[in-house]
Amino acid sequence: MKSIVIQQPNALVIEERQIPQPAAGEVRVKVKLAGICGSDSHIYRGHNPFAKYPRVIGHEFFGVIEAVGEGVDAARLGERVSVDPVVSCGHCYPCSIGKPNVCTTLVVLGVHRDGGFSEYATVPAKNAHPIPNEIPDEFAVMVEPFTISANVTAQVKPTEQDVALIYGAGPMGLTSVQVLKGVFNVREVIVVDRIPERLDMALRSGADRVINNASLSLIGELETLKIKPTLIIDAACHPSILQEAITIASPTARIAIMGFSSDPCQISQQGITSKELAIFSSRLNANKFPIVITWLKEKRIDPAKLITHRFDYQQVVKAMEVFEKDQTRCCKVLLTFNE
């Protein structure tokens, strides 16, 4: 089989490898589609602190089960599945309270262990989530990015009364817009970014208002509009954003961060306590595949609005380049694995 391997930072090769045999409790998935995510690019460029090389990247993938390991029901052969990249021990403290996404021995497919940019991948059977027939392949491959928003919203519990503000109109900001509007019916969703084309995508994904903070001050603009967000999601993740979010937040607002920067950021206690703000963080997803699959079935979210490019996996270098350089036109780039 062919696998997309990052041998070391900046060295991507399509390597011939042995088709893997599923171990006990695993299935082998014949991959049909995979999505490129920022973290794939970070591993490729040597900017991911968790990655070990060589690595088959890819943690957003969909395919068909075509072999099962010992102890896995053979009835699963032929099942269409989306794969949850979060592999956890099942018994540590976070696992025991339903947070396998922060398992003390967390393994993420495509980061700590070989992932889905490959013609075949072996994964734990319980990570392979069946996809109902009415959900098309291209939607199934988009489950993982929506689980990130499902995890964020599980933390901050949006309500219909919220006035939400999302920093960033990249894939993470846009999935969050769709979830806030389509699933939680949030009254008003405002998206802030510096790229006009991305703000247009936010409007197409259901945002009620967009603000370009390259040309004007967000704090000033919200004051003029008399808007105090009650829910803020930082899907841009610059370390300076948290203090600004604290400043613009309504009393008793919830703020969610999801960035991994190791740079310090300066925040004041007063800004948080005086308004009794709640600050949440969110990493990957805690068992959110089933709920996102339900949202897809109920057509509450629409991945089609986010898919901008498709490439054969053999064109992966080009696909990565487009993904990294063309932020004005690019959102989700899919890789297709055909016969």
Q: Does 101 bind Zn ion (CB under 5 A)?
A: no
How far apart are the C-alpha atoms of 258 and 26, rounded to whole Å?
30
Q: Does 103 bind Zn ion (CB under 5 A)?
A: yes
Q: Does 58 bind ligand NAI (CB under 6 A)?
A: no
Residue 210 CA: distances (Å) to CA of 148, 192, 193, 309: 22, 6, 8, 24
How far apart are the C-alpha atoms of 228 and 164, rounded to whole Å?
9
Cβ-based neighbour number of residue 118 at 10 Å: 30
Q: Does 169 bind ligand NAI (CB under 6 A)?
A: yes
Q: Does 209 bind ligand NAI (CB under 6 A)?
A: no
How far apart are the C-alpha atoms of 146 and 254, rounded to whole Å?
20
How far apart are the C-alpha atoms of 97 and 123, rounded to whole Å?
23
Q: Does 147 bind ligand NAI (CB under 6 A)?
A: no
How is residue 100 annotated by DSSP?
G
For the chain, count helices (H), then strands (E). Answer: 11, 18
Residues comprising the chain, all counted = 339
- Report what 88 binds from Mn ion, ligand NAI, Zn ion, none; CB cut-off 5-8 Å by kind: Zn ion
3-state DSSP assignment of residue 293: helix
Q: Which range in 111-119, 190-198, 294-302, 307-315 contacts ligand NAI by CB under 6 A? A: 190-198
Q: How far is the CB of 238 from ligand NAI (least distance, A)?
A: 5
Q: Does 195 bind ligand NAI (CB under 6 A)?
A: yes
Q: Which range in 16-24, 37-45, 97-105, 156-164 contacts Zn ion by CB under 5 A? A: 97-105
Residue 129: closest CA among 288, 6, 310, 338: 288
Pairing of strands 2-8, 86-87: unpaired
Single residue of 37, 199, 233, 335 touching Mn ion by CB under 5 A: 37
Q: Does 289 bind ligand NAI (CB under 6 A)?
A: no
CB 115 within 8 A of CB 314: no
x/- mask, ligand NAI, residues 293-312, rule CB under 6 A, reads --------------------
Q: Report the residue number, 120 or 167, with the smaller CB distance to ligand NAI.
A: 167
CB 6 within 8 A of CB 36: no
Q: Does 100 bind ligand NAI (CB under 6 A)?
A: no
Q: Which range in 23-31, 75-83, 224-232, 236-244 contacts ligand NAI by CB under 6 A? A: 236-244
Single residue of 77, 92, 102, 322 touching Zn ion by CB under 5 A: 92
Q: Which residues of this chain interact with ligand NAI, rule CB under 6 A?
A: 38, 148, 167-173, 192-195, 198, 213, 235-238, 241, 258-260, 282-284
